[in-house]
Amino acid sequence: MSKAAEPGSASGSADWPIPGASVGHSLDPIIIACQNGPLLVRGSVELRTAEGEVIPQLRATIALCRCGVSSIKPFCDGTHKLINFQT
């Protein structure tokens, strides 16, 4: 059985703060749709809950669930592999 990923983590992700970003400045986000997997978001973004509360960004790269089955939504926990999610 797979181990659950840390919320917002992605394989090979860098720790916060984003390398190359200076205090008070952020890097433009880059969004990559992984085939049959999550959306990888690199850079500074503001995520919010359905109630409007800010979700802290703890890493420079976050993986957002696209399969809808993650136990740590909105982040990916790798469950897409177990259910054979196809895009």
27-70 confidence digits (pLDDT tens): 789 999 999 999 999 999 999 999 999 999 999 999 999 999 99
Residue 38: inside a domain, yes or no? Answer: yes
Q: Which long-range contacts (CB under 8 A, 24 or more apart) does 1-7 make?
A: 2/78, 2/79, 2/81, 2/82, 4/71, 4/72, 4/77, 4/78, 5/63, 5/72, 5/75, 5/76, 5/77, 5/78, 7/58, 7/72, 7/75
Q: State the pLDDT at residue 24.
A: 46
- Has residue 23 been placed in a domain? no
How much is the pTM? 0.69
Residue 41's domain comprises 1-18+28-87
74 part of a folded domain? yes
Give the count of domains, the chain. 1
